[in-house]
Amino acid sequence: SLVLGIELGRTFSRAGVYRDNVFEIIADEEGRTFVPSYVTFVQDGSPLIGYFAMEKSADHRENTIYDISLLLGQQLPDSDLEKIISGLPYTIIEKDEKLMIKGILGGQDHYFEPEEIAGLIIGKLKNMAEAHLGCSIGLALFTVPSEFNDIQRRAVKDAADFAGIELVKTINESIATGLGDGLDFPVYAYNPTHVPEHYIFYHLDDKDSSLALISVNMGILKEIAVVRSASVSGMLVEEHSSYSKIFPEKAVGLVRDLLQQANINITQIDSLIFAGNSATVAPVEEAIELFLGKKARSTENTWKIPVIAEDAILRGVSIQASLQKESGANAGFYWDNWVAVDLGVEMNQGVFATVLRRGGYRNRATGTFVITVDNQEKVLIKVYEGCRKMAKENELLGTVEILGLPFQPRGELEIDLTFMVDSGSFLTVIAKEKETGREGSLEVALPSREYTQDDIHKMIQEGELHTREDLLFVRAIDYGTNVHGEYEGGVMPKGGKLIGVDLMDSLLDEEIASLGL
């Protein structure tokens, strides 16, 4: 099934898919691809959404809802929020510590949650997509502004639920654009002398400008500074003569603020990425290029898709959506990103068993493990990140516990361990016992996403330096027995082998032979 990419914008929203190596923007029956993020309530019918709502906004000013993204997940008291609300023509109240927006339901006044309003817009995009693609859509990835916090991102999920679509993941607009441009594909798989690249992302929206400075290190994208300002917007640029230098100069000022915030020198910038209407972006792009002495990315990206400012954000999230290979609860974690350090679990005798290996773009892996004690009622699985074969020498990320296991002999009860890494720097581990379906999970931010290239290089070198010590430790273990550690019972790969999924048993033999052990 297809997974939809959705750009939930402040002024306009869009949806897209990437299938059969073709990027498609979802269009309505009239061929329009932009859906105004407007909802208008009328007395004698269902709410108007999109273009119909925007066209009727002048006649229904107090019942036309827009700028809904500014209200998602927000709470009073908040001075910035109070300023936003004071500039909106429709009625907003606070009830049970939540914002409520006045609308109309069944001819009567009714108060809606912001998520319900956003859900109407998402529902419009869902219906358009199903008509355009000729199939039902149940999953989607959403872009959000960089400054959205966890509460605001959960609000987007709630909005998607109202629309009858499951939010797989949210992804920052700047990161989505960078991934769509193929910035996560390093030229070399590993180069210890490589200096991180820096890109300026500039989104000229109709109502404001949002900028982010992106660091790209070994295929890993990270925002290191963010600036947002209403002093430069697409509407303001469009309203003035194209010869006016006022707003391009202000845009350069925003870039200066971004560089200062990131503590980055102008010479360290490698290139620029723009998003927004090409006509309004052009004078701003020209001014910033002149200021930096660098050209914006204008070539085809990794997928040979032309880089067009209007489609920059949507293209990125749609490509990422196409990488979702599962449905339901396990969807959303097959990202085209770089795994910097091995991820795995501690087996019952202290050996580190790698489940997801470093140095590749495959960010999802599953291995089958078995319990090591007869009639084991529970299992506690320790999750690590590192380059050593002894688990205790790696970094403990957390634990996954499954309770209420059915009584079975050791080696019989099977547990599927799935590791999934997303572009938001989080690892999700799901452990599921096959017979009963009981499961446990862990979600944790990966420390390696904060490491520099040098940090990762040192970790790899340390692992190589201790290879002999670790392999002697591994070789001395009798995997037919159980040695209790800090907890009763553990796991080992199915079949009694040390090396399970992605654990390089042949490489282990080669290393032992090469070291003369």
Residue 225 bridge partners (DSSP): 213
Give residue 199's pLDDT: 93
What's the mean pLDDT in 344-354? 82
Does 217 map to a domain? yes
Residues 15, 145, single domain; the answer is yes
Give residue 503's pLDDT: 34
**What pLDDT digit, counting tens, does each position of 414-439 carry?**
888 888 876 556 788 999 998 888 98
- Residue 516 reports pLDDT greater than 70: no
**Is residue 240 within 8 Å of 217, Cβ to Cβ?**
no
What's the mean pLDDT in 383-408? 89
Beta strands in 291-386 (DSSP E): 343-346, 352-356, 364-371, 379-385
Does 324 map to a domain? no
State the DSSP code for 70.
G
In which band, very low, low, confident or very high, does the pLDDT at 490 lie, cut at 50, 70 and 90?
low
In which band, very low, low, confident or very high, does the pLDDT at 464 lie, cut at 50, 70 and 90?
confident
490: domain CATH number is: 2.60.34.10
- Bigger pLDDT: 20 or 200? 200
Give residue 251's pLDDT: 95
In which band, very low, low, confident or very high, does the pLDDT at 413 lie, cut at 50, 70 and 90?
confident
4-8 and 139-144 as β-strands: parallel, antiparallel, unpaired?
Answer: parallel
**Is residue 320 within 8 Å of 423, Cβ to Cβ?**
yes
- Residue 296 reports pLDDT greater than 90: no
CA–CA dist 160, 143 (Å, integer): 12
**Helical H segments across 293-441, by residue range:** 312-322
- Bigger pLDDT: 387 or 241? 387
C-beta neighbour count of 279 within 10 angstroms? 13
- Bigger pLDDT: 264 or 506? 264
39-40 and 48-49 as β-strands: parallel, antiparallel, unpaired?
Answer: antiparallel
Residues 260, 373, single domain; the answer is no
Residues 144, 237, single domain; the answer is no
Does 135 map to a domain? yes
Residues 30, 166, single domain; the answer is yes
Does 399 map to a domain? yes
Which of 56-70, 86-100, 170-184, 303-317 shows the lowest per-residue confidence on average (mean pLDDT)?
303-317
Q: Provide the token pair at 7.
A: 């750009």
Instruction: Give exposure, 31-45, as e/b (b: 16+ Cβ within 10 Å).
Output: eebbbbbbbbbbeee
Residues 506, 470, single domain; the answer is yes
Residues 282, 403, single domain; the answer is no
Give residue 99's pLDDT: 95
Determine if the pTM surpasses 0.85: no
**Is residue 187 exposed (0-12), middle (13-18) or buried (19+ Cβ within 10 Å)?**
exposed
Phi and psi based region of residue 350 (left: phi greater than 0; alpha: psi -120 to 50; beta: remaining): left
Q: Provide the 3-class DSSP secondary structure of residue 92.
A: strand
- Final residue before a domain boundary, out of 300, 327, 350: 300
Give residue 216's pLDDT: 82
Does 313 map to a domain? no
Amino acid letter for position 299: T
CA–CA dist 392, 28 (Å, integer): 56
38: domain CATH number is: 3.30.420.40
Which structural domain, as residue segments, surrounds residue 464? 339-514
**Is residue 458 exposed (0-12), middle (13-18) or buried (19+ Cβ within 10 Å)?**
middle
Residues 369, 475, single domain; the answer is yes
Does 309 map to a domain? no
State the DSSP code for 431.
E
Nearest to 178 by CA among 319, 77, 291: 319
Residues 507, 397, single domain; the answer is yes
CA–CA dist 167, 161 (Å, integer): 8
Triad 136, 142, 147: Cα angle to 5°: 165
Give residue 205's pLDDT: 92
Average pLDDT of the chain to the nearest whole number? 82
Residues 147, 218, single domain; the answer is no
Q: Provide the token pair at 370.
A: 């078995």
Amino acid letter for position 329: A
Does 333 map to a domain? no
**CA distances in angstroms from 509 to 442, 473, 497, listed in the order given:** 32, 14, 13
Give residue 361's pLDDT: 44
Give the chain's radius of gyration (CA, Å): 26
Residues 118, 231, single domain; the answer is no
Beta strands in 66-194 (DSSP E): 92-95, 98-105, 108-112, 139-144, 166-172
Residues 361, 510, single domain; the answer is yes
Residues 414, 350, single domain; the answer is yes
Does 44 map to a domain? yes
Query: What angle, 0 to 180 degrees and rounded to 10, lies between the N-to-C axes of helices 173-180 and 312-322?
Result: 70
- Domains: count for the chain: 3
- Final residue before a domain boundary, out of 114, 137, 172: 172
What's the mean pLDDT in 178-184? 77
